Amino acid sequence: MHPPGRRPTGPAELSPPMSTAEPLRLPSALRARVATARRVVAFTGAGISQESGLATFRGGGESLWERFRPEELATPQAFHAHPRRVWGWYAWRHRAADAAEPNPGHRALARMAAVFPFFTLVTQNVDGLHQRAGSPEVLELHGTLTRAHCGRCGAARPMASALAESAEEPPPCPCGGRFRPAVVWFGEPLPGGVLERAVAESSRCDLFLAVGTSATVYPAAGLIEVARGAGAAVIEVNPEASALASLADLCVPRPAGHALPALLEAMERCRKPAS
């Protein structure tokens, strides 16, 4: 294992197996860390929802951002200038998220919470799939698509009810303001308590999983650096190397829906009392 702070010469990488069903064998140094880990943080991005059919932002394939530049949609300025376009995009994403089902990757993380004494799930996603997979507590760094709030008075309501009232343009609020999705746009601060809690847990975890994220959006991606700097073992699950893959002790180049159930099994094997 690499001493805290020193950049590893590069992560060990599991060669992508011929069959994704084969068990995942952790390198021995990592097995030792998993066996004794008490505090674990799982940090997820859009990639974990890709196998639920939800397009990622920057990955290959049908990526959300390919058709739009982020500045065109996910900013307060875009909402102010083109409310119908931005509201319509979120209406489309809300419909897609509503129709999607959590995949085995979401469900494996929900089960992983029971394997360790302290397990924190931090997501950049707004699709609500972790909650629907049964994760008991989810720190949503970038807010949620499931709620809307008034940009003027803060009144909150379910996004479904706001969309039922008007799918074409943001519905008005009695205060004279209008509703917007309860997500964090570029240039907006992350929800105070949530970011602080995520940083606190990342700075004291023994094991940090970065799953399905390109690690390009800050301050969220900085959690990986915080965990690394605090001496945690870092495992990345992503078919492509993220911008911070060099900080990982292990890269698992498999889709999360296959890698996470296999990783959960490997963790349970590591932590089973020797018979």
Interface residues with ligand BV8 (CB under 6 A)? 45-48, 50-51, 56-59, 74, 124-126, 142, 183-189, 212-214, 216-219, 237-240, 242, 255-256
- Nearest approach in angstroms of CB 173 to Zn ion is 3
Among 175, 186, 187, 216, binds Zn ion (CB under 5 A): 175
Alpha-carbon distance of 60 to 255, in angstroms, equals 13
Report which residue type is found at 66: E
Cis peptide before 219 (omega within 30 of 0): yes
User: Is 150 a binder of Zn ion (CB under 5 A)?
Assistant: yes
Q: Which listed option, Zn ion, ligand BV8, none, makes contact with residue 153 (CB within 5 to 8 Å by class)?
A: Zn ion
Comparing CB distances to ligand BV8, the nearer of 145 and 233 is 145
- Count of CB atoms within 10 A of residue 132's CB? 17
User: Is 173 a binder of Zn ion (CB under 5 A)?
Assistant: yes
Tokens encoding 182? 């309860």
Comparing CB distances to ligand BV8, the nearer of 118 and 246 is 246
- Nearest approach in angstroms of CB 146 to ligand BV8 is 12
Comparing CB distances to Zn ion, the nearer of 1 and 175 is 175
- Nearest approach in angstroms of CB 111 to ligand BV8 is 17
Comparing CB distances to ligand BV8, the nearer of 207 and 251 is 251
- Nearest approach in angstroms of CB 179 to Zn ion is 8
Comparing CB distances to ligand BV8, the nearer of 55 and 155 is 55
The set of long-range contacts for 241-246, using a CB threshold of 8 Å and a minimum separation of 24, is 242/210, 242/213, 242/214, 242/215, 242/216, 243/214, 243/215, 243/216, 244/210, 244/215, 245/11, 245/215, 246/7, 246/8, 246/10, 246/11
Q: Which listed option, Zn ion, ligand BV8, none, makes contact with residue 57 (CB within 5 to 8 Å by class)?
A: ligand BV8
Q: Which listed option, Zn ion, ligand BV8, none, makes contact with residue 183 (CB within 5 to 8 Å by class)?
A: ligand BV8
- CA Rg, the chain, in Å? 19
Catalytic sites, residue numbers:
142
Comparing CB distances to Zn ion, the nearer of 107 and 149 is 149
Please name which of 258, 234, 225, 247 lies closest in space to residue 33, comparing C-alpha atoms. 234
Helices within the chain (DSSP H only): 28-36, 64-67, 70-73, 76-81, 83-99, 104-112, 129-132, 159-165, 192-202, 222-229, 256-271
Alpha-carbon distance of 212 to 193, in angstroms, equals 24
φ, ψ of residue 67 to 5 degrees: the values are -85, -20
- Nearest approach in angstroms of CB 46 to ligand BV8 is 4
3-class DSSP state of 100: coil
- Nearest approach in angstroms of CB 92 to ligand BV8 is 11
User: Is 155 a binder of Zn ion (CB under 5 A)?
Assistant: yes
Q: Which listed option, Zn ion, ligand BV8, none, makes contact with residue 131 (CB within 5 to 8 Å by class)?
A: none
Report which residue type is found at 24: L
Contacts with Zn ion, residue ranges (CB under 5 A): 150, 152-153, 155, 173, 175, 177
